A = this chain, B = another copy of it.
Amino acid sequence: MQRLSFTVSHTATGSHARRGRMMLRHGPVETPVFMPVGTQGSVKALSSEDVAHELDAQIILGNTYHLYLRPGPERMQRLGGLHKFMRWDRNILTDSGGFQVFSLGQGTADRKPLLEKLTEEGAFFRSHIDGSRHTLTPETSIAMQEAIGSDIMMVLDECPPSTAPREYQAQSMDRTTRWAERCLGARTDAGGALFGIFQGGLDLELRQKHLAALSALPFEGLAIGGLAVGETKEDFLRTLRHVAPMMPADRPRYLMGVGTPEDLVEGVHAGVDMFDCVMPTRNARNGTLFVNGGKIVIKNQAYTDDEGPIDPSCRCSTCRTYSRAYLRHLFIAEELSFHRFATLHNLTHYLDLMRQMRTAIEAGSFTAWRDAFYAGRAAASSTK
């Protein structure tokens, strides 16, 4: 069984944007694609049916760290993997678990893992749930991702802070390369596709060097790691625009953990095919709702008597059904149903943005579409 095949059908003029399709074990994925995040075996506040039938997402992301702790690798395997567990018959991409473990946390106190030791072998950490000790290595990460039944697995990588000395960055990159090779070696025949991740922070020379090392390995796709982790928007864009077009053109390009609607547009413009981010789902739960040209904060007094939908141009069930006044009421009254309505809307907004870009690339009008996108945002912010 082929793990992944990728074809590019259209490339834009005056832009690196491209329109493609991945064939994976659980069906096709049209690119550029945004993948909703389902951290703990659930896209927060939604059912799998919502994600498949209302959103028509072709792929979602699962977090290996969270699923490793609960329900854990043995139980996940016994229960037949994540697709069966959460009744999701489309594709799943999993991260390696590294990002959570390497993020600075204080353990159970702040509900983040506590990294105790980092060696060539892997990462030794304590669970944020009960403080229990665990080891994350390239081999245990791949084993867990295979237990999940992931369609696209990610290599374990270290993501050092961009403020780390250049020498540490270089050493860390070399280790990440060795870990990437170990991940390839650990994958069994039953495993899904496997993507490499290149680092290098904001240093374009380090980026180029690490990309070359990872590209030389037989990964089915490559990902930009260590971007959108706190650097300025200027540094983010400069690095993105430099590295994305250098990535192998015959394999999918994935920009991890990104981003705002503008970031997605700039990512596609730079030639990226895949994105994921908690922004649409987390913002939904906080009452920040994306609309054509920007976003609104639903708790604002202005919406108290507003009988219009969140966004008149949106086709989601929330916009077709409920008013801003009602949604504001639910948010203020802390009604649980708000989370589902808002999440359905924000994810529809994100997936629709990707659909618009795919259509524009097909039509050969991506740069014009991008100009119109920014004109719309400028117009919206000038009327505020």
Contact = CB atoms under 8 A, between A and B. Distances in A.
Contacts of A44: 335-337
Contacts of A340: 47, 336-337, 340
Interface stretch (A101-109, A167-175, A252-260, A319-327): A319-327
A71 interface: yes
Interface string A298-340: 0000001101000000000100011101100110110111011
B326 A86 contact: yes
Of A66, A322, A333, A341, chain B has the most CB atoms within 10 Å of the CB of: A333
Using C-beta atoms within 8 Å of the partner chain, give the interface range for chain A. Answer: 35 or more
Interface in A20-49: 40-42, 44-49
A75 interface: yes
A79 interface: yes
Contact of A333 (B40, B322, B337): B40
B40 A305 contact: no
B79 A325 contact: yes
Of A336, A339, A340, chain B has the most CB atoms within 10 Å of the CB of: A336
B45 A326 contact: no
Contact of A336 (B45, B66, B79): B45
20 contacts: A41-B326, A41-B333, A42-B333, A42-B335, A42-B337, A44-B335, A44-B336, A45-B336, A45-B337, A46-B337, A49-B321, A71-B304, A75-B305, A79-B305, A85-B326, A85-B329, A87-B321, A87-B322, A336-B339, A337-B340
In the complex, the 4 A-B pairs of residues with the closest C-beta atoms, listed nearest first: A45-B336, A40-B333, A42-B335, A42-B337
Given A40-B329, A44-B335, A87-B321, 15 more contacts: A40-B333, A40-B335, A42-B333, A46-B337, A47-B340, A70-B329, A71-B325, A75-B305, A78-B305, A79-B323, A85-B329, A87-B326, A285-B336, A336-B340, A340-B340
